[in-house]
Amino acid sequence: MTQKETAQQKREARMAAELARVQQMRDYETEAVRAAGGHGLICGIDEAGRGPLAGPVAAAAVILPEDLLLPYLNDSKKVTEKRREVLFTQIKEKALAWAVVMVPPERIDEINILQATYEAMRTAVGQLAVRPDVLVNDAVTIPGLDILQVPVIKGDAKCISIAAASILAKVTRDTYMKEMDRKYPAYGFAGHKGYGTKAHCQAILEYGPCPIHRRSFLGRILAGQHRGQSVSAVQRESEDTASGSCSPENAGSMHDGEEKNLLKKNTPSSRQETGRRGEEEAVRFLSKKGVKILERNFRDRNGEIDLIGEQDGVLLFIEVKYRGSQRFGTPEEAVTPEKQHNICRTALYYLHQTGRTAGTSVRFDVIALTDASIRWIRDAFSFTD
């Protein structure tokens, strides 16, 4: 056997293995649909662009012929850009029906990213030239559709139709972001496609957001406000505070000069107890101001947020700091840039856990307590990267 023949055999063996892998994806999909009681035309649904700071979210719906096996079809994230482009063309040519819909940033800001994704998916299904009998989705159930749905966790790597949808959605969105790169070259959209890379964040801080940025994803820090400043650096703009002496004429003013020595009485010796008493004072103070306390001492691996509240539709992440003296600095100076960063990470986790990641107005406040006063520093800092 010649070297050329050996190489040909290896190529054939690799192709056979690849077709077997794709057949396995089809078999998995068929079995999942059968187990759910479904039959008939299967439509794969997937999205691209839920996480970026800029650009639309895209959703694709695809109905493939039952006997179609496309070599190298896989989760779009596991396929090279060049291969995705080839598959994109093949899928559109061979599919029984397909549709891709993009929902713009302003709509994402209006209804939040999850609802915008559902909207894109519903619209894509509605635009299909052929009505499917079953939808196979990548781990979601789309509200508002009267078609049997089969959600599959990591479905873009398991089901052939979802993988095809993932290719269409990603290539369509990536192509759009490359076009936006030519329109807004300062941000580098062609490279990162709108995701929050360090270079992208730096560009936002330098130039401000452009029309395709998702305002609800940025936070004021990414719009260039108070970048890298300590809490005390923005205190003049954002604090709601008493004058410090808490003289009688301050009591009852818009800053509510709180009663003198409100923490001095029975001041506990332990740091933990001091913190607890400080939080109790903060809760009472904020409640009088109309703040609804949602969580206390919310924790994740990044750290802890003392209080989470809500007022007039704004979600408040509140750090409570007490200082008995100025020997080691003011309370607000204790909220260091590192502390701010950890609070922001924990806040993002809270938003994700409660389904409020996007479309939610948020603010980071500090309650600064001394033996003589309470100061409410509103908008003390913003999201840090």
Q: Quick one: pLDDT at residue 271? A: 57
The residue assigned the tokens 């329109």 is 183
Q: Quick one: pLDDT at residue 61? A: 98
Instruction: Give me 24's structure tokens.
Output: 């396995």
Which residues is 84 bridged to in the sheet? none
What's the per-residue H, E or C state across the chain?
CCHHHHHHHHHHHHHHHHHHHHHHHHHHHHHHHHHCCCCCCEEEEEEECCCCCECCEEEEEEECCCCCCCCCCCCHHHCCHHHHHHHHHHHHHHCCEEEEEEECHHHHHHHCHHHHHHHHHHHHHHCCCCCCCEEEEECCCCCCCCCEEEEECCHHHCCHHHHHHHHHHHHHHHHHHHHHHHHCHHHCHHHHCCCCCHHHHHHHHHHCCCCCECHHHHHHHHCCCCCCCCHHHHHHHHEECCCCCCCHHHCCCCCCCCCCCCCCCCCCCCHHHHHHHHHHHHHHHHHHCCCEEEEEEEEECCEEEEEEEEECCEEEEEEEEEECCCCCCCCHHHCCHHHHHHHHHHHHHHHHHCCCCCCCCEEEEEEEEECCCEEEEEEEECCCC
What is the distance between the alpha carbons of residues 246 and 244, in angstroms, rounded to a whole number?
5
Q: For the chain, list the domains and their CATH numbers.
A: 3-183 (3.30.420.10), 228-381 (3.40.1350.10)
Q: Which strand ranges, in their side-by-side order, compose the sheet holding 97-103?
A: 97-103, 57-63, 42-48, 134-138, 148-152
Instruction: Give me 264's structure tokens.
Output: 């001095």
The residue assigned the tokens 């713009």 is 104
Pair 262, 374: CB distance under 8 Å:
yes
What is the distance between the alpha carbons of residues 43 and 242, in angstroms, rounded to a whole number?
62
Q: Quick one: pLDDT at residue 353? A: 79
pTM score, two decimals? 0.59
Query: In terms of C-beta density within 10 A (0-12 exposed, 13-18 middle, 19 or more buried), how is residue 62 classed?
Result: buried
Q: Quick one: pLDDT at residue 129? A: 96
Q: Quick one: pLDDT at residue 55? A: 97
Averaged pLDDT, groups of 10, the chain, 385 residues long: 79 91 95 94 96 95 94 92 96 98 95 94 97 94 95 92 97 98 96 90 86 82 40 32 28 30 44 76 93 92 90 92 64 76 85 72 88 85 64
Q: Quick one: pLDDT at residue 326? A: 52
